[in-house]
Amino acid sequence: MIRSRLLVVDDDAESCEAVAEVLRAEGYMVATSQGGHAALMLVREHAFDVVVSDIRMPDLDGVALLRELRETDPEPSVILMTAFGTVEAALEAIKQGAYDYVGKPLRLEELLLTVRRALEQRRLLRENQQFRAALQERYQIPNIVGVSSRMIDIFKLVARVAPARSTVLITGESGTGKEVVARALHFNSPRAVAPFVTIDCVSLSEGVLESELFGHVRGAFTGAVGARRGLFEAASGGTVFLDEVGGISPNTQARLLRVLEQQEVRPVGSNEAVRVDVRLVAATNKDLEGQVKTGHFREDLFYRLNVVRVHLPPLRERREDIPALALHFLRKYAEANDKAISGFAPESMSRLEAYPWPGNVRELENAIERGVAVSAHPILLPDDLPAHIVMSTPAGPNGAVAPDSLPLLSLGEVARHQIVRVLTVTGGNKKRAAEILGVDRKTLYRLIDRYRIASARPPAEP
Ligand X SMILES: Nc1ncnc2c1ncn2[C@@H]1O[C@H](COP(=O)(O)OP(=O)(O)OP(=O)(O)O)[C@@H](O)[C@H]1O
| Total site size for ligand X, rule CB under 6 A | 18
Rounded Cα–Cα distance for residues 343 and 334 (Å): 10
Rounded Cα–Cα distance for residues 49 and 66 (Å): 14
**Site mask, Mg ion, residues 152-191, x = CB under 5 A?**
---------------------------x------------
Dump strand ranges (E) for 10-62: 29-33, 50-54
54, 92, 318 from 100: Cα distances, Å: 12, 11, 36
Pick what 310 binds: Mg ion, ligand X, none; C-beta below 5 to 8 Å, kind-dependent: none
Pick what 319 binds: Mg ion, ligand X, none; C-beta below 5 to 8 Å, kind-dependent: none
Rounded Cα–Cα distance for residues 29 and 3 (Å): 6
Nearest-approach distance from CB 19 to Mg ion, in angstroms? 56
The phi and psi torsions of 274 (rounded to 5 degrees) equal: -115, 130
- For Mg ion, the closer of residues 178 and 255 by Cβ is 178
- For Mg ion, the closer of residues 179 and 369 by Cβ is 179
- For ligand X, the closer of residues 80 and 325 by Cβ is 325
Nearest-approach distance from CB 193 to Mg ion, in angstroms? 24
Question: Helix, strand, or coil here: 375?
Answer: coil
Rounded Cα–Cα distance for residues 155 and 46 (Å): 44
Q: What is the DSSP letter of 268?
A: B
Span from 2-10, 56-64, 138-146, 204-212 in contact with ligand X (CB under 6 A): 138-146
Nearest-approach distance from CB 455 to ligand X, in angstroms? 19
- For Mg ion, the closer of residues 244 and 320 by Cβ is 244
Q: Which amino acid is at 5?
A: R
Nearest-approach distance from CB 243 to ligand X, in angstroms? 6
- For Mg ion, the closer of residues 199 and 276 by Cβ is 199
* Residue 118 near residue 437, CB atoms below 8 Å: no
3-class SS shares of the chain: helix, strand, coil, % to 5: 50, 15, 35
Per CB under 6 A, which of residues 353..392 are in contact with ligand X?
A: 361-362, 365
Pick what 145 binds: Mg ion, ligand X, none; C-beta below 5 to 8 Å, kind-dependent: ligand X
**Site mask, ligand X, residues 146-175, x = CB under 6 A?**
x-------------------------x-xx
Nearest-approach distance from CB 325 to ligand X, in angstroms? 6
Dump strand ranges (E) for 231-332: 239-243, 264-265, 274-275, 279-284, 308-312
Per CB under 6 A, which of residues 241..300 are in contact with ligand X?
A: 285
Rounded Cα–Cα distance for residues 459 and 209 (Å): 38
- For ligand X, the closer of residues 120 and 137 by Cβ is 137
Pick what 180 binds: ligand X, Mg ion, none; C-beta below 5 to 8 Å, kind-dependent: ligand X
Peptide bond into 358 cis (omega under 30): no
- For Mg ion, the closer of residues 82 and 176 by Cβ is 176
Pick what 298 binds: Mg ion, ligand X, none; C-beta below 5 to 8 Å, kind-dependent: none
The separation between CA 125 and the C-alpha centre of its own chain, rounded to angstroms, equals 16
- For ligand X, the closer of residues 270 and 291 by Cβ is 291
Measured from each CB, the residue nearest to ligand X is 177
Pick what 34 binds: ligand X, Mg ion, none; C-beta below 5 to 8 Å, kind-dependent: none
Nearest-approach distance from CB 376 to ligand X, in angstroms? 25
- For Mg ion, the closer of residues 178 and 319 by Cβ is 178
Pick what 365 binds: ligand X, Mg ion, none; C-beta below 5 to 8 Å, kind-dependent: ligand X
Beta bridge partners of 279: 239
Query: What would the DSSP string read from start to end of 392-431?
Result: T----GGGPPPGGGSPP--HHHHHHHHHHHHHHHTTT-HH
Rounded Cα–Cα distance for residues 192 and 351 (Å): 39
Per CB under 6 A, which of residues 170..189 are in contact with ligand X?
A: 172, 174-180
- For ligand X, the closer of residues 100 and 244 by Cβ is 244
100-103 and 77-82 strand pairing: parallel
Pick what 313 binds: Mg ion, ligand X, none; C-beta below 5 to 8 Å, kind-dependent: none
Per CB under 6 A, which of residues 53..112 are in contact with ligand X?
A: none
Torsion angle of C-alpha atoms 64, 70, 73, 79, degrees rounded to 10: 80
Torsion angle of C-alpha atoms 172, 173, 176, 180, degrees rounded to 10: 60
Nearest-approach distance from CB 234 to Mg ion, in angstroms? 20
Closest CA to 301 of 342, 245, 341, 220: 245
Cβ atoms < 10 Å from Cβ of 275: 10
Q: Which residues bind Mg ion (CB under 5 A)?
A: 179
Q: Which residues bind ligand X (CB under 6 A)?
A: 143-146, 172, 174-180, 285, 325, 328, 361-362, 365
